[in-house]
Amino acid sequence: MFKNQVVVWFMSVGFLLGACKSPSQRIQENQADDSIVRDSLETTPPPCAGIDWSELKGNINPSSHPDFDVVPIALTRKPKIYLRKEALDALTSMAAAAKEAGFDIEVISATRSWEHQKNIWNRKWSSPKYMGFAPLERATKILEYSSMPGSSRHHWGTDVDLNALENTYFESGRGLALYEWLTAHADAFGFTQVYGDQSNGRTGYQEEKWHWSYWPLSSDYLRCYVSQPNDALFSGFQGAELSDTLGIIDRYVLGIDRPKEGTNR
Ligand SMILES: [Zn+2]
């Protein structure tokens, strides 16, 4: 069932792209479709080539992983938080450019393991703020800004939370100026705000002006993540049995914004 959903998702994207083309363009492309599909089946690498799928669901210890480095204290007040080296290099370059423009970038959260995400999730599940809700409603409220363990992009080592975990911080004064700088320049360093304001119909998490993803890696990880069977993906935490009903993969994991057109990524 899940693979069918992925196919439908890609078909939907294809339909939207196709809708912008003239009839003659579409006819020409349809005539070429068969050979394109055959070629891509033969030449496209498997979606998880070179990627450890179990790491993407949070089975990871970045402190002892050769592909990770600690985020230096120049960029964070947290003593030991980690990113994949390629993402950290890009973030370091972006922070230097931001500094020249007069902004300090501070990493508030980076890689989180399944265990770490489980603690965040279960703490919220049992907190007074959510106790008055029935389970499905409670999970939906928590999912406004937090992921179920096993489905967080923070497992991947490519995503960061910057400066403040409140949209209001980025809506006036220094926060707004930083957000405008990020919106204009982050893409040049590979970073994308994946949880935008939903005005385009994006499903899933609410807007997060603080969450930025290193797209050159995370786009491959997303492709791998959704290619895997998810039957036993969610278990071992409060409300895990609701994952199918809530559409964690379709509505939340796939509910992201991508880099703007023209950025060639
Ligand atoms: Zn985040």
pLDDT digits (tens, 9 = 90+) for 170-197: 999 999 999 999 999 999 999 999 999 9
Residues 258, 265: Cα–Cα separation, whole Å: 9
- Which pLDDT score, from 0 to 100, does residue 43 have? 61
Residue 262 belongs to a domain: no
Residue 161 CA to ligand 1 center (angstroms) comes to 5
Residues 151, 252: Cα–Cα separation, whole Å: 8
Residue 128 CA to ligand 1 center (angstroms) comes to 23
Kind and range of the H or E run holding 192: strand 191-193
Tens-digit pLDDT profile for residues 215-261: 999 999 999 999 998 878 999 999 999 999 999 999 999 999 999 87
**Same domain membership, residue 247 and residue 137:** yes
Residue 36 CA to ligand 1 center (angstroms) comes to 37
Residue 215 CA to ligand 1 center (angstroms) comes to 14
Q: How confident is the model at residue 48 (pLDDT cuts 50, 70, 90)?
A: very high
Backbone conformation region of residue 72, classed left if phi is above 0, alpha if psi is from -120 to 50, else beta: beta
Residue 265 belongs to a domain: no
Please tell me whether residue 51 adopts helix, strand or coil conformation.
Answer: coil
**Same domain membership, residue 107 and residue 26:** no
Burial status of residue 213 (CB atoms within 10 A of its CB: 0-12, 13-18, 19 or more): buried
Residue 125 belongs to a domain: yes
* 50: DSSP letter: T
Residues 221, 84: Cα–Cα separation, whole Å: 12
Residues 224, 246: Cα–Cα separation, whole Å: 21
**Same domain membership, residue 193 and residue 108:** yes
**Where are the alpha helices (H) located in 63-172, listed in sequence order?**
85-100, 114-125, 128-131, 135-142
Residue 26 CA to ligand 1 center (angstroms) comes to 39
Q: How confident is the model at residue 147 (pLDDT cuts 50, 70, 90)?
A: very high
- Which pLDDT score, from 0 to 100, does residue 10 have? 42
Q: Choose the weakest-confidence range: 27-36, 52-61, 70-79, 128-137.
A: 27-36
- Report in angstroms the alpha-carbon separations of 246 from 87, 168, 204, 241, 250: 31, 27, 10, 10, 9
Please tell me whether residue 82 adopts helix, strand or coil conformation.
Answer: strand
Residue 159 CA to ligand 1 center (angstroms) comes to 7
Residue 19 CA to ligand 1 center (angstroms) comes to 33
Residue 43 CA to ligand 1 center (angstroms) comes to 34
**Same domain membership, residue 116 and residue 11:** no
Segment 51-55 shows an average pLDDT of 96
Total of domains in the chain: 2
| Ion ligand 1: residue ranges with CB closer than 5 A | 161, 211
Residue 211 CA to ligand 1 center (angstroms) comes to 5
Tokens of 145: 């800004």
Residues 172, 186: Cα–Cα separation, whole Å: 19
Residue 111 CA to ligand 1 center (angstroms) comes to 9
Residue 20 CA to ligand 1 center (angstroms) comes to 33
Residue 96 CA to ligand 1 center (angstroms) comes to 21
Closest CA to 143 of 257, 11, 29, 249: 249
Tens-digit pLDDT profile for residues 154-173: 999 999 999 999 999 999 99
Residues 95, 71: Cα–Cα separation, whole Å: 12
Please tell me whether residue 161 adopts helix, strand or coil conformation.
Answer: strand
The range of the structural domain enclosing residue 6 comes to 1-44
Of 56 and 45, the structure prediction assigns the larger pLDDT to: 56
* Helices and strands (H, E) in the chain, number of each type: 10, 6
Residue 54 CA to ligand 1 center (angstroms) comes to 20
Q: Which amino acid is at 48?
A: C
Residue 264 belongs to a domain: no
Of 43 and 139, the structure prediction assigns the larger pLDDT to: 139
Report whether 145 contacts 211 (CB < 8 A): no
Q: Which amino acid is at 117?
A: Q
Mean pLDDT of the chain: 87
**Same domain membership, residue 12 and residue 130:** no
Angle at 55 between CA 54 and CA 57, to 5 degrees: 70
Residue 162 CA to ligand 1 center (angstroms) comes to 8
Residue 239 belongs to a domain: yes
Residue 109 has phi, psi (to 5 degrees) of -150, 145
